[in-house]
């Protein structure tokens, strides 16, 4: 047995698969989906009731240095002039998006991601905020979140953000062991993390999250357990424990990592399973496949009430049908389409300055996609799906619509990963690590994506 899971099941089902932050997943998107396509879908979003809230994602790519595990789209630059140019172009793009959305300008969720959003200088943070605030109305109770690197985030900068109304903070911790941090070129200390956390709590941030990562070089059960214990002692509201995805063919800088010092397979999974057990024993509630929250946190409440949702920014209790995104590589997730911006700065600048959206790929979402997206989202968040109830909510015969998916789940029933009682599908206690595999049964693009990929398009599911 492997922490309550049969080791043969682990080996059988631990294969590449999507994380389902979107459906259809990114490898299924089309390169011929361009600026005109995205513009037309923004116009369709604008035709919805003006009081229907939106989410806005802002990608701030700059970092002081490159962490060797990084899987994000980042730009290494300490130049204020370069940062200022980016904010100026963001202002132009925000104007183009707001113009196309017209009267539909109410935000229920605002998220700054990166890169390192808190690496941006204070005057530029203020300028960016003014650019957003003049075009969009931030609703009362809106979730306003920012990602922070404790090594570059000062108390003064955090206070400026809190004064703007930011109320959620996600702190990149990854690990507290110095040998691990040195190996991945992450220059930070325990004191920086704890100091930032305590000051954020003091000035009124809530829903404070720590991002951790397992599978990094030199991590052991003992060292990662020590990190988890320190996290528990600090007591953040939320904790995300992500699996490191080693994809050096896609992220060349990951080749600098010592693969011989990285745990894989069963040993890597043990790091997460032990961390999960420690967090549950400490009173945290499991949220989805890799998040944890205190029982009084809004994510835990949403989980208990069946209101939890999932998008590119992670799990949320503030779901909206339309997320618009700005900046390089940023992904907009609309009810009717997904659209991604170009990654290179020069290409992004050129498109926006010429008055054109910077879309480089995307996909129109069909009625079938929307239904399957909702089913996968419910499965990923609630670890179960009542097909009769789901069908009634979506105007379909649920069991008939998903009969092929149910048939594919047959082997999971035999392996006691899933139970099926009438129209209700439930993931068992033994089955929770395999939730991505279960969701894959509802994905009609998966086989084609895998056939067209020379190398794995996704990280392993466990």
Strands 331-333 and 54-60: unpaired
CA 274/CA 280 separation, integer angstroms: 10
Query: Could you tell me if 440 and 298 lie in one domain?
Result: no
Task: Kindly state whether residue 349 falls inside one of the protein's structural domains.
Answer: no
Query: Could you tell me if 213 and 262 lie in one domain?
Result: yes
Reported as a single tens digit per residue, the pLDDT across 336-390 is 999 999 999 999 999 999 999 999 999 999 999 999 999 999 999 999 999 999 9
Query: Could you tell me if 82 and 213 lie in one domain?
Result: yes
Task: Kindly state whether residue 411 falls inside one of the protein's structural domains.
Answer: yes
> What is the predicted pLDDT for the residue at 450?
84
Q: Return per-residue pLDDT of the chain as tens, 462 residues.
A: 566 677 888 888 888 899 999 999 999 999 999 999 999 999 999 999 999 999 999 999 999 999 999 988 899 999 999 999 999 999 999 999 999 999 999 999 999 999 999 999 999 999 999 999 999 999 999 999 999 999 999 999 999 999 999 999 999 999 999 999 999 999 999 999 999 999 999 999 999 999 999 999 999 999 999 999 999 999 999 999 999 988 888 889 999 999 999 998 889 999 999 999 999 999 999 998 899 999 999 999 999 998 999 888 889 888 889 999 999 999 999 999 999 999 999 999 999 999 999 999 999 999 999 999 999 999 999 999 999 999 999 999 999 999 999 999 999 999 999 999 999 999 998 899 999 999 999 999 998 888 887 777 788 888
How many helices, marked H, and strands, marked E, lie in the chain?
Answer: 18, 19
CB atoms under 10 Å from CB of 141, counted, come to 8
Reported as a single tens digit per residue, the pLDDT across 293-316 is 999 999 999 999 989 998 888 898
Query: Could you tell me if 314 and 379 lie in one domain?
Result: no
Q: 340 - beta bridge partners?
A: 331, 361
Query: Could you tell me if 402 and 447 lie in one domain?
Result: yes
CA 229/CA 224 separation, integer angstroms: 9
373-5-259-211 Cα dihedral, nearest 10 degrees: 50
Task: Kindly state whether residue 108 falls inside one of the protein's structural domains.
Answer: yes
Q: Which domain holds residue 190?
A: 29-326
Task: Kindly state whether residue 424 falls inside one of the protein's structural domains.
Answer: yes
CATH number, domain with residue 99? 3.80.30.20
Query: Could you tell me if 387 and 400 lie in one domain?
Result: yes
CATH number, domain with residue 426? 1.10.10.920
Q: Which of the listed residues 296, 326, 356 is the one where a domain comes to its end?
A: 326
> What is the predicted pLDDT for the residue at 4?
65
pTM over 0.85: yes
Q: Which helix (H) or strand (E) holds 379?
A: helix 367-382
Query: Could you tell me if 167 and 42 lie in one domain?
Result: yes
> What is the predicted pLDDT for the residue at 39?
98
Q: Which of the listed residues 304, 326, 348 is the one where a domain comes to its end?
A: 326
Closest alpha carbon to 310 in 248, 380, 364:
380
- Kindly state the tokens that stand for 359: 């879309």
What is the phi-psi region of residue 142: left when phi exceeds 0, alpha when psi lies from -120 to 50, beta otherwise? beta
Task: Kindly state whether residue 191 falls inside one of the protein's structural domains.
Answer: yes
Q: How many domains does the chain have?
A: 2
CB atoms under 10 Å from CB of 193, counted, come to 23
The answer to whether the CB of 288 falls within 8 A of the CB of 19 is no
The answer to whether the CB of 112 falls within 8 A of the CB of 100 is no
């Amino acid at each position: 047995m492997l922490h309550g899971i049969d080791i043969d099941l682990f080996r059988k089902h631990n294969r590449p698969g999507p994380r389902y932050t979107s459906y259809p997943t990114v490898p299924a998107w089309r390169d011929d989906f361009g600026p005109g396509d995205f513009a037309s879908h923004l116009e369709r979003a604008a035709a919805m009731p003006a009081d229907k809230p939106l989410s806005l994602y802002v990608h701030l790519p700059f970092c002081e240095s490159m962490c060797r595990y990084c899987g994000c789209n980042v730009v290494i630059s300490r130049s204020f002039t370069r940062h200022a140019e980016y904010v100026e172009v963001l202002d132009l793009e925000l104007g183009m998006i707001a113009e196309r959305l017209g009267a539909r300008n109410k935000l229920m969720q605002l998220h700054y991601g990166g890169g390192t959003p808190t690496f941006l200088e204070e005057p530029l943070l203020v300028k960016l905020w003014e650019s957003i605030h003049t075009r969009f109305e931030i609703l009362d109770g809106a979730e306003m979140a920012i990602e922070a690197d404790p090594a570059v985030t000062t108390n003064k900068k955090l206070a400026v953000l809190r004064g703007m109304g930011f109320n959620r903070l996600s702190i990149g911790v990854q690990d507290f062991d110095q040998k691990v941090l040195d190996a991945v070129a992450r220059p930070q200390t325990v004191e920086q993390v704890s100091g930032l956390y305590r000051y954020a709590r003091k000035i009124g941030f809530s829903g404070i999250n720590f991002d951790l990562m397992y599978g990094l070089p030199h991590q052991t059960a003992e060292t990662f357990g020590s990190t988890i214990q320190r996290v528990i002692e600090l007591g953040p509201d939320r904790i995300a424990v992500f699996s490191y995805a080693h994809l050096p063919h896609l992220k060349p800088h990951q080749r600098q990592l010592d693969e011989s010092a990285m745990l894989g397979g069963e040993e890597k999974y043990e790091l997460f399973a032990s961390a999960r057990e420690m967090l549950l024993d400490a009173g945290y509630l499991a949220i989805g496949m890799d998040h944890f929250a205190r029982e009084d946190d809004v994510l835990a409440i949403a989980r208990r009430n069946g209101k939890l949702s999932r998008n590119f920014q992670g799990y949320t209790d503030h779901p909206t049908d339309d997320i618009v995104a700005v900046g390089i590589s940023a992904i907009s997730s609309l009810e009717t389409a997904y659209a991604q911006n170009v990654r290179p700065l020069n290409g992004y600048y050129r498109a926006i300055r010429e008055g054109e959206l910077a879309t480089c790929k995307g996909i129109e979402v069909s009625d079938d996609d929307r239904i399957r997206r909702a089913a996968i989202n419910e499965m990923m968040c609630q670890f179960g799906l009542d097909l009769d109830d789901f069908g009634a909510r979506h105007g379909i015969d649920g069991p008939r619509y998903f009969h092929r998916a149910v048939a594919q789940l047959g082997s999971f029933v035999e392996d006691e990963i899933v139970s099926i009682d009438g129209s209700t599908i439930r993931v068992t206690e033994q089955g929770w690590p395999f939730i991505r595999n279960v969701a894959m049964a509802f994905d009609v693009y998966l086989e084609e994506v895998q056939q067209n990929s020379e190398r794995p398009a996704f990280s392993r599911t466990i």
